[in-house]
Amino acid sequence: MVASSVLASAFFKEGKFVQAFPSFGAERRGAPVMAFTRIDDEEINVRFGIYKPDCIVILDATLAKKPGITSGLKDGHWIIINSDRPPADFRFLGDYPVATIDASSIARKYKLGTPSVPIINTTILGAFAKVTGIIKIESVLEAIRESAPSKPEENARAAREAYEAANYQPPLVQEGSKSR
């Protein structure tokens, strides 16, 4: 939820209209939580879930095997996964471009969370900025510094490192198509 809120703040800084909201499943400690960020160049008047996402960010690589995890993801759009494994290890997700970042190790380095439970929500936003190219890393870092619940500088440094370390292969742009 923090990552979604910080990302919305970063897009707002770039003049976008934003919404950030969570979706809870069965309420129990440790259960997976989904959070969404909606951005647009125009005012957002809808108030419902996102069923056709432009990007999926998976904070726990074990969830990549969850049935339907890519449900609704638009063709050619990114899946970003917190993993020390290369993107090729996630071919089972289909033809989507996949990026990986070992956000857990980076978060441990900056003492975000505990060694056994690193807090990676802001760290992975650096990889999101790099991989998608739809937001400036400077906007992400500023939003982190303003919004991180604790250790804002460490969170910002972790996001910067994730930006530099993201493991991905940019998709080839076919002649006559527009890069996004």
Q: Is residue 42 part of a domain?
A: no
Contact 167, 90 (CB under 8 A): no
Range of the domain at 149: 51-165
Q: Is residue 124 part of a domain?
A: yes
Count of the separate structural domains present in the chain: 1
Name which residue leads in pLDDT, 21 or 137.
Answer: 137
* Bridge-based pairing state of the strands 33-40 and 17-24: antiparallel
Per-residue pLDDT tens digits for 91-148: 999 989 999 999 999 999 999 999 999 999 999 999 999 999 999 999 999 999 999 8
When pLDDT is cut at 50, 70 and 90, the band that residue 26 belongs to is low
Q: Is residue 17 part of a domain?
A: no
Cα 151 to its chain centre, rounded Å, is 20
Q: Where are the alpha helices (DSSP H) in the chain?
A: 2-13, 103-109, 123-132, 137-147, 152-165
Q: Is residue 26 part of a domain?
A: no
Q: Is residue 116 part of a domain?
A: yes
Please, what sign has the CA dihedral across residues 180, 132, 81, 102? positive
Q: Is residue 135 part of a domain?
A: yes
Per-residue pLDDT tens digits for 32-59: 677 888 999 999 998 888 889 999 999 9
**CATH code of 81's domain:** 3.40.920.10
Mean pLDDT over all residues of the chain?
88
DSSP code of residue 67? T
Q: Is residue 45 part of a domain?
A: no
